[in-house]
Structure 1
């Protein structure tokens, strides 16, 4: 039986570097984002880097104790630790070498991957590290807070799985970026009527025009000759579009469930006007908040953002430095673009994304992203 998926966020700090030091780590459920374990400790006099490594080890051990077969995505704001543990930088400092070796023994290497995140996305681990240092200053060790009685169930993922904001990387050699060429599927019979068509509806196939659009996209991409892998949503219209393009390159299609369209609940198959007439209050709430769900138990954009972010990270880990064709739907593609831009959730409503259009995003080794193309339909003219 396959293990669970965890996200480990870890951090460490030293007041003086070296100085009084401590670490903190959290383990999140990989599907919901909910924190399911915490660890922190005051470690005495040490450097920031030593504290960061000890935080990493504690987070990995906490994940292992929950499920030794789990796949773990480690996210840290220490570029040094991420690059060293990913094998891209050598570990020269004698204090770091045994710590890195210990971290590698906690879980099998194939179960763990490392991702850099900006400090503002590592607040929980940073908070715990500071609590540990405060406890050490008071002459005691950190202790976890008592759980609140009848704690409420978190229904939405609490974290924004966004790519870090793009920026200049100075003179660092970041290597070849990973490029996502984002292709929206061709038309179905619902597309010209502008009807809600998500993952909770009838899963329509491509129309005759949609098949023609897929062929034109395949021709345009083949002319560029740059696609090295194809990943797609498992829905019928995206499968048909992806297989048309993949055949031109002699590639197989890998399907990723996180790239499927949002579930529109009771709105599936309806036009915007019909939803406005039948469910006006729900529609207003949905347009006003990324946490609101369509009528009838559909998905919120917050939930969509989480699963798309997880899918993005999986593809980046599998195809570093490659050009990957990602065949998906309006909402997931807009979400990938939004996250790359660091734009707010309501930016989804400010993008046009035509059937069989192309976008492109590049992701760099330091975690930065750059949008290179948006809604290109030149191949359809």
Structure 2
């Protein structure tokens, strides 16, 4: 039997965002004060995984809180393809401020949020398109290992789109909470494309 690669996808800790800003790929601080939730999450993760984060500091901060730190000394792999969706020029605005712009692109975005592209940003379909090859590439690199990736709600939904063969619009229906665990397994098939198994989604 071909070795299975297990992905343990963790959404970062809650963003500290009292003004309700759209942050996307912007940097934002996170609240890692809930030690009970962090310890419970850590207890669900495998003992010796490949530890992975994205370039955004909130994933590294969460990794530190989960495993001790600093995370850069803990042999974490940095994977840019698992970044959150970029909302381009809209990052840093509140939803009210965005609505007040009266921009036709805002209305178009809400009519087709999976495929519409914010100015200077990317669509959720673009996120799925960049996450898919990264999952295959890292599954081949760490074949048969456990990969614990602290990443983002958007990239976790994108991974579920890949695993379940969903359209981007369907994948947006998943709720992915901060400090939740989603587990998918990459299963190689000789002479055929690999298949995916979904073990759990949004486990608190």
Q: Which residue of 2 aligns with 1:293?
A: 117
Considering only CA atoms, is the larger Rg found in Structure 1 or Structure 2?
1
Structure 1 contact 218–244 (Cα < 8 Å) conserved? no
The alpha carbon displacement at 1:345 in A equals 1.1
- 1:307-349, Cα deviation, whole Å (9 max, x unpaired): 2122212211221111111111111111001111111111233
Tell me how far 1:245 sits from its aligned partner.
Answer: 2.5
Deviations 1:43-86 (A, max 9, x none): xxxxxxxxxxxxxxxxxxxxxxxxxxxxxxxxxxxxxxxxxxxx
TM-score by length of 1: 0.47
Secondary structure of the equivalent of 1:364?
A: strand
Match of residue 272, structure 1, among 95, 114, 118:
95
Q: CA deviation at 1:189?
A: 1.5
Distance (Å, rounded) in 2 between the aligned partners of 1:195 and 1:289: 18
Match of 2:196 in 1: 369
How much has 1:355 moved relative to structure 2?
A: 1.2
SS class of match (1:188): coil
* Cross-structure match for 1:217: 38
Consecutive aligned runs of 4 or more in structure 1 exceeding 6 Å deviation: none
Residue aligning to 1:99 = none
1:319 aligns with 2:142: yes
Kindly indicate whether the alpha-carbon contact (under 8 Å) linking 1:204 and 1:237 is maintained by their aligned counterparts in 2.
yes
| Residue number in structure 2 paired with 1:49 | none
Rounded to whole Å, the distance in 2 between the matches of 1:368 and 1:214 is 36
Given that residues 178 and 322 in structure 1 are in contact (C-alpha distance below 8 angstroms), is that contact kept between their aligned partners in structure 2? yes
Residue matched to 2:12: 185
Q: Look up the SS of the partner of 1:275 in the other structure.
A: helix
Cα offset, 1:234, TM superposition: 1.1
Structure with bigger RCO (C-alpha 8 Å, 6+ apart): 2
Tell me the residue number matched to 1:237.
58
Alignment of 1:92-103 (within 5 A): none
Query: What's the RMSD between the two structures over aligned residues?
Result: 2.5
Unaligned runs of 5+ in 2: none
Q: Structure 2 matches for 1:90-239, cutoff 5 A?
A: 173=1, 175-190=2-17, 194-199=20-25, 201=26, 203-206=27-30, 210-213=31-34, 216-222=37-43, 225-239=46-60
TM-score (norm 2): 0.84
